[in-house]
Structure 1
Amino acid sequence: MASFVKLGKKIIAIGRNYAEHAKELNNAVPKEPFFFLKPTSSYLQNGGIIEIPRGVIAHHEIELGVVIGKGGRDISEAQADSHIAGYTLAIDMTARNMQDDVKKRGLPWTAAKGFDTFTPVGDFIPKETVSNPHDLDIWLKEGDLILTGTPAGVGPVIPGDVITAGLSIPSNTELLASLNFTAEQRNGGYLFQ
């Protein structure tokens, strides 16, 4: 499953899954999380350059990604773990000013979340390395990625910034994964106004 970036057909992201993140953005905490989709064309492998479109105020949201290893539908809680191949460390980049605009108009977030390079990901982490399974009631196929939501701590990203992130188990100082990306202003193309 190390090739999930090439193999996967969709990225499913969980919104407002962490109450602290919802509060820091002045959003209501929902009774249950909701999801949105990101295109796989937004993947960026570790060490790449995040391209920030002109006119966009970009924010980073560090997340744990769950890589699906076996497709399924109507999967029971007891069987959910058998569908998980492993994990990855991911950044859900957001064009925050664009997201604020589309939310006010009741439109989907896809444009604000789906730019090329707006889903930087790390290497595949086999599931045996992390013992934190999740229950999912959603149609998934081999190679798909689920972003589990953002804990507190989002922030702006401007051209020239270097984003580093790490993933570890609290009782262990060993890093499971790390990310390192540079942000640059995208030349040409889209201009958000």
Structure 2
Amino acid sequence: MPVGKIICLARTYRKHAAEMGSPVADNIVMFLKPASAVIHDGQAIRIPAGSAEVHHEVEMAVVIGQQGSHIPAAEAASHIHGYAVALDVTARDLQREAKRQGHPWTMAKGYDTFCPISSVVPAAAIPDPHALDLSLAVNGERRQSSTTAMLLYTVDDIVAAVSAVMTLCPGDLLLTGTPEGVGPLHRGDSVEARLDDYCHLTVSVE
């Protein structure tokens, strides 16, 4: 199905919030990326001319399969089509300046190619989305390694919280946040991301 909205969550892993110097929020923090940011396995992240510091952030993506608004957490599973591994590529220098000025993060997050995503695994194939290894390597060097057990919110609670703000539609992606270990990408890099043994993504950087 075509990609719809891309709703990203921030500060959902305590150690990543700490490395960014940000407090863990009392409520879910969300922002949007455009569907035009999506690329797939084997394609390339393009470093934009407007940024000198582009970072990787590996995340578990939840793919919505059934429309819903104000979805109770207890009913969230019926709205989930599947899961994927994705990157929330970020122009960190632009994000840092946006934070300083109190501006939205759109310019830091929304460039074309800034949302690589793997193929989708059906939800029924994953017994527990909260017990998955999540990792990323650059040029064969492990940069990020964690588990979705460290998420501060359950997938059901995330679906409920986001759908309380906006209607979720088939093809919408929920990027559930990144663990610690984010770092820079450079032209010529090869990036490999994994969600346990279910999802695998390899992209280059140019």
Asked if these proteins are the same fold (TM beyond 0.5), I'd say: yes
CA offset at residue 55 of structure 1?
4.3
**Residue in 2 aligned with 1:134?**
156
**Number of the residue aligned with 2:27:** 32
Unpaired runs of 5+ in structure 2? 130-154
Q: How does 1:20-169 map to 2 (within 5 A)?
A: 20-56=15-51, 57-130=53-126, 131-132=128-129, 133-135=155-157, 136-137=159-160, 138=163, 139-168=167-196
CA–CA separation in structure 2 for the residues paired with 1:88 and 1:147: 9
Q: Specify the code of the residue in structure 2 equivalent to 1:30.
A: A
Q: Distance in 2 between matches of 1:21 and 1:72?
A: 30
User: 4+ residue stretches of structure 1 with deviation over 6 A?
Assistant: none
Q: Secondary structure at the match of 1:149?
A: coil
Q: Which SS does the other structure have where 2:156 is aligned? A: coil
Letter in 2 for 1:80: A
Q: Give the Cα–Cα distance (whole angstroms) in 1 for the partners of residues 22 and 195 of structure 2.
A: 26
Q: Which runs of 5+ in 1 are unaligned?
A: 169-174, 185-193
Which residue does the alignment assign to 1:181?
A: 203
Distance 2:185 2:156 in 1: 30
Give the fraction of aligned pairs with identical amino acids, expressed as a percent: 43
Q: TM-score, normalised by structure 1?
A: 0.87
Is 2:7 the partner of 1:12?
Answer: yes
How big is the shift at 1:182?
0.7
Cα distance in 2, alignment partners of residues 74 and 66 from structure 1: 17
State the 1:78 CA deviation.
1.4
Q: How far does residue 166 in structure 1 lie from its aligned partner after superposition?
A: 1.2
CA shift digits 1:70-113 (9 cap, x unpaired)? 00011111111100000010000000000001111111001100
Q: Please tell me whether the aligned partners of residues 74 and 156 of structure 2 are also in contact (alpha carbons under 8 angstroms).
A: no
Determine the C-alpha separation between the residues in 2 that align with 1:52 and 1:80. 36
After superposition, the C-alpha distances for 1:107-164 in whole angstroms (9 at most, x for unaligned) are: 1001100100000000011001222242222120011000000111211101111111
Query: Which whole-Å CA distance do the structure 2 matches of 1:96 and 1:165 have between them?
Result: 20
After the TM superposition, which of the residue ranges 126-135 and 10-19 deviates more from structure 2? Answer: 126-135
For residues 9 and 178 of structure 1, what CA distance do their matches in structure 2 show?
A: 21
